[in-house]
Structure 1
Amino acid sequence: MRHVLSPETGARFAAITLGHVGREYPNKPDHTLSGPEDARTPATLHPVFFGSYDWHSCVHGYWLLARMLRRFPDGAEAPAIRTLFDRQLVPAKVAGECAYLAAPTARGFKRPYGWAWLLKLADELRRLPEPRWGEALAPLAEIFAQRFRDFLPIATYPVRVGTHFNTAFGLRMAADFAAGGGDAALLALLRDTALRWYGEDTDCPAWGEPSGDDFQSSALIEAECMRRLLPPGEFLPWFDRFLPRLAEQQPATLFRPAAPSDRSDGKIAHLDGLNLSRAWCFRALAAALPDGDLRCAPMRAAAERHLDASLPHLLDDYMGEHWLASFATLALEA
């Protein structure tokens, strides 16, 4: 693989992210007003995650920083990351985030994308040698874990779009939190839900990919979700049925990188994220296949093409700058 997460790349991604997690404006809040008293600034609504244009991007920006701190504890940006975490990941500010979620109007706030990223952040923080940040965030993580427990049993159908509402992505990321914390009951719920939603899927045509604002492949993230949640003896037969012609690079649309036409348009800029998230899934799925499997080479080559298409554009415009490095990290580490 030509593209890897080196210390230099990690420092670059951390510097990009430090430049936006504390940037309050521009901001796109996902906020319901019940009355005039609810018209508040982002930092008042969200004492921790007020930057990065929107709450969920700020959360996965913090995840990237925690990841880089664990991978490269002596990296160039490590002191700045520790300073940020000591200032922001403290009980009083986390309590403000928890208080926001107590409002009835916040029941569906950031479901499932933000829920999943918050749990992914919590899992990363508890792997660091400094326990104070993970301990501070734990009450907020438990709220979102409970929201998964409450929501999944009543969610009759999955959501298969290539945007924030995709349910396979939510299950996939929450699985790391459940497994890392030894929460067998939550992990079983995630697995059972994945089987209920996706277990009978076969011969995926991927005909709707890409749509104009996708940043995930609905086909590949479903496969990555099942890879993460099923044991190999169950996943591999499912994968054979779900995408049976990958060795022939079919469906062809999955193997062609998307081409954003205007990276200053926030929705069109999503297509760079699609390329990066496809690369993540292709790499992770190929790594799960047996040695010598004919699907591996075309999948890995496709991952490199997708990375070539979008890695050079992380800083082209703030519409991508405030979030793309997180998906680049997923891809480079897969």
Structure 2
Amino acid sequence: MPEVHAPPTLDADTAARFAAIALGHVTREYPNKPDHTLAGPADARTPAALHPVFFGSYDWHSCVHGYWLLARVLRRFPGGAAAPAIRALFDRQLVPEKVAGECRYLEAPTARGFKRPYGWAWLLKLAHELRMLPEARWAGAIAPLAAILVRRHHEFLPVAPYPVRVGTHFNTAFGLRMAADYAESRGVEGGGDAALLALLRRTARRWYGDDADCPAWGEPGGDDFLSSALIEAECLRRLLPPADFAPWFDRFLPRLADGEPATLFRPAVATDRSDGKIAHLDGLNLSRAWCFRALAGALPAGDSRRPVMEAAAGAHLAASLPHLAGDYMGEHWLASFALLAMDEDGR
């Protein structure tokens, strides 16, 4: 029996710590790594001029999921220590005129592929989380931006012939998985998008439905923060009916009960957390923990794979949870993945 690391729970103190990390960077403009195409001299502008809302956190996508973290903490602990600061930030930033600036940026011809699919997925994930809050004004403000990215999914996915299976931002399984929550969202604001959900399901089947006996021999890559094997499985768990997912999962990773492929069960080692790419490996451990927990939860109670996967989730979380802060290369984003690992709704 593998050693079991009891997973920590998201209590009020932990949530406040995560929120303090995010509040420390979502409005920190510099250092900044823009993903920006210049069509002319007038496009050479500062991050805050380009992105009135999401100008912090070193890059746009990290800022978006920093806001998601804050929205999740506010929903889970509405009376918590960080709640007043989160509400003040949202009232200052998630307003129609600032979101309109983000919309103008995305509608520019040069931004057609901006942050595809990772930033697209996180923005929809944020919009879903905001819908779950009683303060409807924030979800209403972000809705036009979400609508642009829903349209981008409808334009892009039907013409994308192949998935992208890397362990970084371009991974398409991660994009589908996160967008699914928005497409199926139910909350204070209602919501849900049946057409988008159907598109995500068709695309997942087309890209991944025939996959079997995944070797995972390429994991981990030196700058991975996603497991291409586990995030694909988590994508299919989220988008397939349970009766279809079970036989697919059996074929895809047939030796999980034996701890194989072994490379999936060994936490990655980040040797230099001041190096942004190497720091990704802490994110890999956290995202693996999220996937292992979600996938184990989809199995029957007596399934022999469950304790193996739950132990792996605990080991991966324990390896990187102490390293969420200390160097900005990890601090500007890792807490979001820790929150996924500890508190994501498996649905």
* TM-score, scaled relative to structure 2: 0.96
Give yes or no for the alignment of 1:296 onto 2:306.
Answer: yes
Partners of 1:92 and 1:100 lie apart in 2 by 13
Partners of 1:60 and 1:271 lie apart in 2 by 18
Partners of 1:122 and 1:282 lie apart in 2 by 25
Partners of 1:227 and 1:328 lie apart in 2 by 20
Given candidates 136, 140, 154, the residue that maps to 1:135 is 140
Given candidates 252, 272, 278, the residue that maps to 1:268 is 278
Give SS of 1:267's match: helix
Partners of 1:317 and 1:261 lie apart in 2 by 13
Aligned residue number for residue 156 of structure 1: 161
Cα distance, 1:291 vs structure 2: 1.3
Paired-residue identity, %:
79
Give SS of 2:207's match: helix
Cα distance, 1:130 vs structure 2: 0.4
Cα distance, 1:332 vs structure 2: 0.4
Cα distance, 1:27 vs structure 2: 0.1
Partners of 1:266 and 1:155 lie apart in 2 by 29
Aligned residue number for residue 98 of structure 1: 103
Contact 2:223/2:278 (<8 A) preserved: yes
Partners of 1:12 and 1:169 lie apart in 2 by 26
Aligned residue number for residue 3 of structure 2: none
Partners of 1:247 and 1:156 lie apart in 2 by 33
Given candidates 38, 42, 51, the residue that maps to 1:37 is 42
Give the letter for the 1:96 counterpart: G
Partners of 2:243 and 2:87 lie apart in 1 by 42
Q: Could you report, residue by residue, the CA deviation over 1:110-164 in whole angstroms, capped at 9, with x for unpaired residues?
A: 0000000000000000110000000000000000011011100000000000000
Given candidates 244, 263, 266, the residue that maps to 2:254 is 244
Give the letter for the 1:303 counterpart: A
Partners of 1:283 and 1:96 lie apart in 2 by 38
Q: Could you report, residue by residue, the CA deviation over 1:66-93 in whole angstroms, capped at 9, with x for unpaired residues?
A: 0000000000000000000000000000
Partners of 1:183 and 1:85 lie apart in 2 by 25
Aligned residue number for residue 196 of structure 1: 206
Segments of 4+ moved more than 2 angstroms:
none
Give the letter for the 2:206 counterpart: R
Given candidates 226, 232, 236, the residue that maps to 2:236 is 226
Give SS of 1:262's match: coil
Partners of 1:29 and 1:175 lie apart in 2 by 27
Give yes or no for the alignment of 1:316 onto 2:326.
Answer: yes
Aligned residue number for residue 221 of structure 2: 211
Q: Could you report, residue by residue, the CA deviation over 1:43-62 in whole angstroms, capped at 9, with x for unpaired residues?
A: 00000000000000000000
Aligned residue number for residue 47 of structure 1: 52
Give SS of 1:282's match: helix
Q: Which moved more, 1:173-182 or 1:245-254?
A: 173-182
Aligned residue number for residue 68 of structure 2: 63
Given candidates 152, 175, 193, the residue that maps to 1:183 is 193
Aligned residue number for residue 291 of structure 2: 281
> Tell me, which stretches of 5 or more residues in structure 2 are unaligned?
1-5, 186-190
Give SS of 1:220's match: helix
Aligned residue number for residue 341 of structure 2: 331
Give SS of 1:141's match: helix
Give the letter for the 1:117 counterpart: W
Partners of 1:42 and 1:333 lie apart in 2 by 31
Partners of 1:148 and 1:256 lie apart in 2 by 35
Aligned residue number for residue 18 of structure 1: 23
Cα distance, 1:103 vs structure 2: 1.1
Aligned residue number for residue 179 of structure 2: 174
Partners of 1:80 and 1:182 lie apart in 2 by 29
Partners of 1:223 and 1:316 lie apart in 2 by 32
Q: Could you report, residue by residue, the CA deviation over 1:243-262 in whole angstroms, capped at 9, with x for unpaired residues?
A: 00000000000000000110
Provide the alpha-carbon RMSD of the alignment: 0.6
Aligned residue number for residue 108 of structure 1: 113
Cα distance, 1:3 vs structure 2: 1.3
Q: Could you report, residue by residue, the CA deviation over 1:154-193 in whole angstroms, capped at 9, with x for unpaired residues?
A: 0000000000000000000000000012211110100010
Partners of 1:18 and 1:176 lie apart in 2 by 24
Give SS of 1:284's match: helix
Give the letter for the 1:319 counterpart: M
